[in-house]
Amino acid sequence: MISTRISFRLTAIRIIAGCRRSSEWYSLDHSCLKTAVNGVIFRDDLGQFTAFRELLLGYYPDKVWKRRIAEQLHEYSATLQVNYARCMARKDTVAAEICRIQGLRSAMELYFLLRRTYPPYYKWTYQALTELEGSRSDPLMQDFQGNPARPLTGNRLDAQGEFSGKIQELADTRCDLGAWEGTKYHPNRPNFKDRIISLAEEIASEIADMLIVSGLTDIRSSYLETYVNTLI
């Protein structure tokens, strides 16, 4: 089984190295790519695997990168900024919990995408995020420090551990029907009595800052669906 997985992943890398079509990149998940670039090459006489790995270390082609960001922005916005509140307003906590978890996953994927870093397998993603956040090897922090004039609110990117702290709180916070007593869903009036709603907006605001620092937009909006069409 292990040899089959390794063979599959190496075959996928060969396909990318050979044709470099966007469709081939889309067919691979983040953790597969992380596995391919992780560790040390002890011997590669022909240099082929090293060449494949150098290609992958260069990260996604720009078109693929932006498309994946757009997909996760839409997923986050749809689940946590729209559908979670709709579910809570009708007291459907099962559907609301699904929205919370899917939004949580999208937020972490966006964090790695905007730092041009492949995340590991899902059970290690949060730990890898905490290690990357605010570190000297964090490419987004390096870009921010090299471009201090970029319009960030409160320079939150300089606060180590703030993003991961909000992710942890979102993971620990459960649906609160009491916050929705007598409250109906309204697309333009978030129910900030619900802590999950507040956290969703705080996380979205930080993601908006990351988009600005990455040079993907000069418009600041915490409603992440705003950016989708400009990236595709």
Residues 194 and 216 in one domain: yes
Task: Determine the residue type at 162.
Answer: E
pLDDT in tens, 130-157: 999 877 666 565 555 555 444 444 445 5
pLDDT at 56: 83
- The residue with greater pLDDT, 217 or 16, is 217
pLDDT at 84: 98
Residues 124 and 215 in one domain: yes
> Under a CB-based contact definition with an 8 Å cutoff, are residues 56 and 221 in contact?
no
Residues 25 and 73 in one domain: no
pLDDT at 54: 83
Tokens of 159: 């606060």
Residues 71 and 27 in one domain: no
Of 37, 57, 77, the position where a domain reaches its end is 57
Tokens of 167: 């992710």
> Under a CB-based contact definition with an 8 Å cutoff, are residues 64 and 22 in contact?
yes
Residues 8 and 91 in one domain: no
Task: Determine the residue type at 217.
Answer: T
Residues 25 and 108 in one domain: no
Q: How confident is the model at residue 215 (pLDDT cuts 50, 70, 90)?
A: very high
Task: Determine the residue type at 56.
Answer: L
Residues 79 and 194 in one domain: yes
Burial call 203-214: b when 16+ CB within 10 Å, e when fewer: bbbbbbbbbbbb
Please tell me the distance from the alpha carbon of residue 99 to that of residue 148, in angstroms, as a whole number.
Answer: 35
Of 57, 82, 103, the position where a domain reaches its end is 57
Residues 172 and 110 in one domain: yes
> Under a CB-based contact definition with an 8 Å cutoff, are residues 22 and 56 in contact?
no
Please tell me the distance from the alpha carbon of residue 1 to that of residue 13, in angstroms, as a whole number.
Answer: 19
Among the ranges given (45-54, 94-103, 149-158), the one the predictor scored with the smallest mean pLDDT? 149-158
pLDDT in tens, 12-28: 555 545 446 677 787 77
Mean pLDDT within 73-94: 98
User: What count of other Cβ atoms lies within 10 Å of the Cβ of residue 30?
Assistant: 19
Q: Which pTM value belongs to this model?
A: 0.82
pLDDT in tens, 184-205: 999 999 999 999 999 999 999 9
Please tell me the distance from the alpha carbon of residue 150 to that of residue 164, in angstroms, as a whole number.
Answer: 22
pLDDT at 3: 47
Mean pLDDT within 113-139: 87
Residues 104 and 173 in one domain: yes
pLDDT at 134: 74
Residues 79 and 48 in one domain: no
Count of structural domains, the chain? 2
Mean pLDDT within 25-32: 77
The boundaries of the domain holding residue 52 are 2-57
Mean residue pLDDT of the chain comes to 84
Residues 116 and 43 in one domain: no
Residues 169 and 193 in one domain: yes
Tokens of 193: 């009595």
Please tell me the distance from the alpha carbon of residue 59 to that of residue 116, in angstroms, as a whole number.
Answer: 6
